[in-house]
């Protein structure tokens, strides 16, 4: 994602969710027609992979939402954001710079495209940013093919339970690829 890791864009250059997801969209466009990927989105990355699912459903074998925002074609992203999410995401980087429902409303998902991609949700039991009840509410509003739970994991599951996360991702990749 832009402004993360080794990506050269600075946080003050990211104004919309589209700016944030631009590297993912470029990558997805470059995938050869005979190839498919396993997409993994953590936290706000769920919005980004949802946009990729909508635009490139034929290039994705499975999308994995790791304690992530899971949009619904029944409710739309704005309704989900109006729940508890806006407050929670202001605590996360780089959300404060662009996470406004009016800016992210360009991420629209449909049953025909987003809904055609296999989805797995990994619940992080001790997440204090996206609480387990909220994660389950999103799953209820947009059911996934599978739900997994990592016990004792916090929002940064890649640090709190890295072995368990890797085991889940390997299982998902083996099953859906």
Nearest Cα residue to 1 out of 19, 58, 13:
19
Q: Where are the domains of the chain?
A: 11-176
For 121, the 3-state DSSP assignment is strand
Among residues 19, 104, 127, 153, which one is catalytic?
127
State the burial class of residue 119 (Cβ atoms within 10 Å of its Cβ: 0-12, 13-18, 19+): buried
3 pLDDT more than 80 = no
Tell me which of 19, 43, 50, 72 is the catalytic residue: 43
Whether residue 31 is predicted with pLDDT greater than 60 in this model: the reply is yes
Just give the CATH number of 11-176.
3.40.50.1820
Cis before 94 (ω within 30): yes
Tell me whether residue 127 is one of the annotated catalytic residues: yes
Token pair 């990729």 is found at 52
43 in catalytic set: yes
15 classed as catalytic: no
List, for residues 117-167, the tens digit of each pLDDT value. Answer: 999 999 999 999 899 999 999 999 889 999 999 999 999 999 999 999 999
Least confident of 44-58, 81-95, 135-149: 81-95
Measure Cα distances from 160 to 133, 135, 145, 163 in Å: 20, 18, 25, 9
Taking the complete model, does pTM exceed 0.75, yes or no?
A: yes
Instruction: Choose, from 42, 50, 104, 155, the residue flagged as catalytic.
Output: 155
Q: What is the pLDDT of residue 9?
A: 60
The answer, yes or no, to whether residue 35 has pLDDT greater than 90, is yes
Q: Is the model's pLDDT at 174 over the cut of 70?
A: yes
Average pLDDT over residues 75-82: 48
Alpha-carbon distance of 153 to 160, in angstroms, equals 6
């Amino acid at each position: 994602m832009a402004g993360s890791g080794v990506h050269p864009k600075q946080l003050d250059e990211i104004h919309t969710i589209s700016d944030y997801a631009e590297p993912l969209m470029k990558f997805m466009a470059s995938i050869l027609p005979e190839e498919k990927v396993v997409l993994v989105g953590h936290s706000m990355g769920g919005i980004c992979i949802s946009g990729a699912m909508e635009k490139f459903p034929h290039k994705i074998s499975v999308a994995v939402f790791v304690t992530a925002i899971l949009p619904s074609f029944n409710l739309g992203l704005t309704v989900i954001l109006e729940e508890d999410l806006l407050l929670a995401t202001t605590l996360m980087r780089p959300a404060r710079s662009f996470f406004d429902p009016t800016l992210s409303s360009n991420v629209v998902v449909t049953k025909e495209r987003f809904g055609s991609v296999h989805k797995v949700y990994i619940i992080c039991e001790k997440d204090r940013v996206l609480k387990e009840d909220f994660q389950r509410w999103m799953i209820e509003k947009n059911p996934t093919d599978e739900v997994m739970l990592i016990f004792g994991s916090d929002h940064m599951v890649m640090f709190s339970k890295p072995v368990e996360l890797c085991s889940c991702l390997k299982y998902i990749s083996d099953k859906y690829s």
